[in-house]
Chain A
Amino acid sequence: MVTNRDLIELSPKIMIPTLYDYWVHDVEVLKGKGKYELYPGNPYETVINTRPAISFYNDNNPDWLNVMIFYHVLGHIDFFQNNLYFRHTWDYDFTGQALSDKRLIARLRSEKGRQVDYIIEFSRGIDNIVSYFGELSKVNRPSFTAGTSKRLDFYFDVFLQSHKKVNISDYIKEIERYNQSIKDYGTLGEASFFADVELKHPEFKAVFKKSLEKKPDRDPDLLSFLMSKSEFLNKEENKWMKSVMQVVLNTSLFFQPQIRTKIMNEGWASYWHETLFMQDDRIKGHEVDFARVNAGVTSMPRVGLNPYALGMRMFYNIENMADLGKYSIEFRQISDAIERDNFNKNTNAGREYIFKIRENFDDFLFVNTFIDQDFVDLHKLFVVGKRINRAKMTWEYYVQSRSAKDYKQMVIDTLYHPPCIEVDLDKTDDSRLYLQHRFEEKPLVQEFIANTMMGIEYLWGGTVNLETSEVAASKPLTGFYAPGPPSAQPQEPEKQKIQWQRVLYTMEKRKLTRRILYAVDSK
């Protein structure tokens, strides 16, 4: 039970009372654009994902409301503990970990002073491009080394494909030859197989040996890369910095799944608080109150994208579809609308089906898979556009599209999506760190580049390059919206054709320079 005031004081610390101290938490932060990109993790959640989970109840709330919230919290906890995107957070007590991190940082701060805050700042500058999926895949990777050797993997996965570039039929022939060899010679099969390989490709042995020396640095995430490779950080007197970076890295990884499952998580919790509380005796006498609060939380707004409402409706819809057996090839093959409507296999497998979804999906997959035209039509959804009306000096909100494709795209565009920025190992050497920003038709926020790169330079201890894409020019819309007589009402503005260019930023001795590399053709 906490007071309103407690809740507010907890919020800058992402509701985790034991989170490490950092002065930026204490200053009000700039609001608006990109806020959640900057501060991932749900800032005002009522439950935190730790062992055991902690949830907050407002002492101002009536009891029945706290019961409802309790069911909502149960939904979240169930989600945290079963959704596979949270896999890496299952095994430890985060608040306990956070407390020890907090102590570590406090101790270092007493020894090293404000330098600790610089390290936190610079690490947090890149804590959104951590290799979250890498972390997940580490946890979820099955340990199947049974029967295959590194040499065999290398031969089939790398040597044949990358070095020899054999065609598919030859590749399959090699597999058949290997299988045959195993069949014929049993345990000696592999040795026999490679005896032939070495006859055919005398260089294989050397190539394989070389590959063993080179550590397979797949997709190194920047923070981890700096920690392992930066000469500066690995100096004896600077090694403490790595523990601070590790804290930032762990904290970020901890919050990643939460931000990537917002719609599902809130939808799931809403689904369950509704379902469970309706069956609870304690609702008696508060049915109307509940209905009012619940509607406030889960109604579809006229304008806006309410994750509670959208997620909950999607789960209900999926359950219903699965109950009717509509997730089947049989159903998909029907094109007759009436027949589709009447389709009912009475499988009653809906509940089970949504449990599977809650286990295996994240927001992107969820939205991409289950928003279809039937769903959009059923709930009368549309994409809202927003444009300036110069004559009235107002923003106009209008129905832009009712197509499921557009709606889905709109939802996907609002999802958390940090840029993909990776270390380019080919262009990185002892002094120079070369970062590649993968082009996704989105530029980076330019004003943030300088300070972020300065932080990386500090941690790396040398020059840092960043290759990224920026808008070179876009077809100007002059005349189109020019202030003028009110009749100049824009019709559906056509999508601009954007000219992109690849740009190289260099941070050297805390000075940022920018150079245009080449123009990029876009679609």
Chain B
Amino acid sequence: MNNKLQKYYEQIKARGLTHKQEEIILEELNFQGFHDIPDMLSHERKNSFQPMPESIYEYTDLLMLHKASPPYINYSTCLRSLDELLERDKMREKDGFPRKIRVGRLVKPGKSGKDKIVVVPTTVEEKFIHDSVRPPEEGGESGGSGEGEEGEIIGEQPIRDPEGSGAGPGEGQGGPHEMESSAYDLGKILTEKFELPNLKDKGKKRSLTRYTYDMTDRHRGFGQFLDKKATLRRIVETNIGLGNLPDVGKINPQDFLISPADRIYRILSREKDYESQAMIFFLRDYSGSMMGKPTELVVSQHVLIYSWLLYQYDKQVESRFILHDTEAHEVPDFYTYYNSKVAGGTKVASAFRMVNEIVEKENLAKDYNIYIFHGTDGDDWDTEGKETIPEIEKSLVYTNRVGITIAAHSSAQGNKTEVEKYLETSGLLKEKPSLIRLDVMQKDADEPRIIEGIKTLIS
């Protein structure tokens, strides 16, 4: 048992808790289970068994006899025609038919920030076809041959592919895609397809570049400022060349010959400086109660928001990732943010406090449009938000928007979650709707619902 948690628990218990609140807290305190990041692709992969085609119709002459690779359509090819497809989709809507292009999104977190987000527009031809009815945890039957008694296990396959190679186009070929560019594409699609609102300008400069003047360039012979170190290095080089330095252990600088061209100066020059327009803080609750679906929802939504902002700011976006249970931690990249797991208690305040500290310390409010997106299941040991609300209020002074997503457990149905309750009590949502938004969804929400949520948070 975590002593610190225990202590904190006793502390808040002394302040008084309802039975229900105590129950939730105790559950998290004594959490013994696992807390894996759910595999976002698992539902797509479940039906695919790599070593063999699933049906006889997947065996084809082209693959079997010619040993040709299965037809592969590069996703960027699809993107090229995307404009046309989206246009087509818009026309469909005008003609009174539902849209037909789906934006397929495969996220594949990789090491050191090299996540892959592969965006593929897909469509499916709807027909009347048979569905299969089978127990939820059983796959389809197939053929086999060889030895083995009935009941004998002949093979296993991890449900979550360790390689993370998802099914679907774009895998295996075309080389790794950089997270940034793919996320940018995704953002473009999101903006166009879902017609999310463009961000309001906070009144800051919108130029993408600015110039600063600095003594950055070096120049031999003349200039504004002698770069002593570089000059000395140059002189040594010259003298080695002249054979003036026979013994490195015994150097007499007075013997050095100094050519005018050896003097290196720094001169004032115009520097292009990309201005980062936006700083996004992603905060994720990774406490014990977040196990499973809520985490998936939060992470999915954050990927989409991230992509969308990347597009909005033409890649001039910096992001910071903060995870919290009872304490907050900043993690370096999306990969870690996505994959980290812990199972502790919950204290939302810790995350917001950390953001406030970072913003103050690095003086970010001056130069950045700051966004804070927080995802949680709505539980908070700080049941009345006594610590959280002041921290949020503090952040509202400088942010463009605080967006809080609650992926509520179904057990909480009908009842509002702690976070929801204290946010409403605080009146912030009503007083400052342009600064803080709340979106509450059930944990079984689907992708359209997630996107709906983004609209709520951002519009």
Report how far A65 CA is from B47 CA in the complex, Å: 34
B137 within 8 A of A: yes
Report how far A449 CA is from B127 CA in the complex, Å: 7
Min CB distance A510 to B, Å, is 6
Question: Provided the pairs A36-B57, A44-B63 are in contact, do residues A445 and B151 lie with their beta carbons within 8 angstroms?
Answer: no
Report how far A407 CA is from B139 CA in the complex, Å: 16
Does B140 lie within 8 Å of A386, measured CB to CB?
A: yes
Count how many pairs of residues, one from A and one from B, have CB atoms less than 8 Å apart in the complex: 310
8 Å CB contacts to B: which residues of A478-504?
Answer: 481, 490, 492-493, 496, 498
A330 within 8 A of B: no
Question: Provided the pairs A28-B78, A45-B62, A58-B68 are in contact, do residues A448 and B141 lie with their beta carbons within 8 angstroms?
Answer: no
Does B123 lie within 8 Å of A27, measured CB to CB?
A: yes
Does A310 lie within 8 Å of B78, measured CB to CB?
A: no
Contact pick for B130, options A45, A442, A493, CB 8 Å = A442
Min CB distance B167 to A, Å, is 6
Nearest-neighbor residue (CB-CB) of A304 within chain B: B52
8 Å CB contacts to B: which residues of A243-258?
Answer: none
A29 within 8 A of B: yes
B168 within 8 A of A: yes
Does B142 lie within 8 Å of A393, measured CB to CB?
A: no
Contact pick for B138, options A379, A388, A414, CB 8 Å = A388
A8 within 8 A of B: yes
Does A410 lie within 8 Å of B154, measured CB to CB?
A: no
Does A24 lie within 8 Å of B123, measured CB to CB?
A: yes
Does B128 lie within 8 Å of A419, measured CB to CB?
A: yes
Report how far A417 CA is from B125 CA in the complex, Å: 17
Q: Which residues on B sit within 8 Å (CB–CB) of A490?
A: 137
Does B148 lie within 8 Å of A46, measured CB to CB?
A: no
A185 within 8 A of B: no
Report how far A381 CA is from B49 CA in the complex, Å: 20
8 Å CB contacts to B: which residues of A450-475?
Answer: 450-452, 454-455, 471, 474
Does B142 lie within 8 Å of A33, measured CB to CB?
A: no
B204 within 8 A of A: no
B434 within 8 A of A: no
B8 within 8 A of A: no
A47 within 8 A of B: yes
Q: Which residues on A sit within 8 Å (CB–CB) of B136?
A: 477, 481
A351 within 8 A of B: no
A519 within 8 A of B: no
Does A301 lie within 8 Å of B133, measured CB to CB?
A: no
Report how far A7 CA is from B37 CA in the complex, Å: 40
Does A444 lie within 8 Å of B57, measured CB to CB?
A: no
Question: Provided the pairs A27-B78, A28-B73, A399-B152 are in contact, do residues A47 and B128 lie with their beta carbons within 8 angstroms?
Answer: no
A126 within 8 A of B: yes
Q: Which residues on A sit within 8 Å (CB–CB) of B24?
A: none
B53 within 8 A of A: yes
Chain A residues in the interface with B (C-beta under 8 A): 4, 7-8, 11-12, 23-24, 26-39, 42-47, 58, 61, 65, 68-69, 72, 114, 118, 121, 124-129, 259, 262-263, 266, 293, 296-297, 300-308, 310, 379-390, 392-402, 407, 410-411, 413-419, 421, 437, 440-452, 454-455, 471, 474, 477, 481, 490, 492-493, 496, 498, 510
Q: List 28 A-B contacts (CB under 8 A).
A: A7-B68, A11-B62, A32-B44, A37-B129, A69-B66, A72-B65, A118-B97, A125-B126, A126-B128, A296-B64, A301-B143, A304-B144, A305-B56, A305-B143, A382-B144, A383-B144, A397-B155, A398-B151, A398-B152, A399-B149, A399-B151, A400-B141, A410-B141, A417-B130, A445-B128, A454-B97, A455-B126, A477-B136
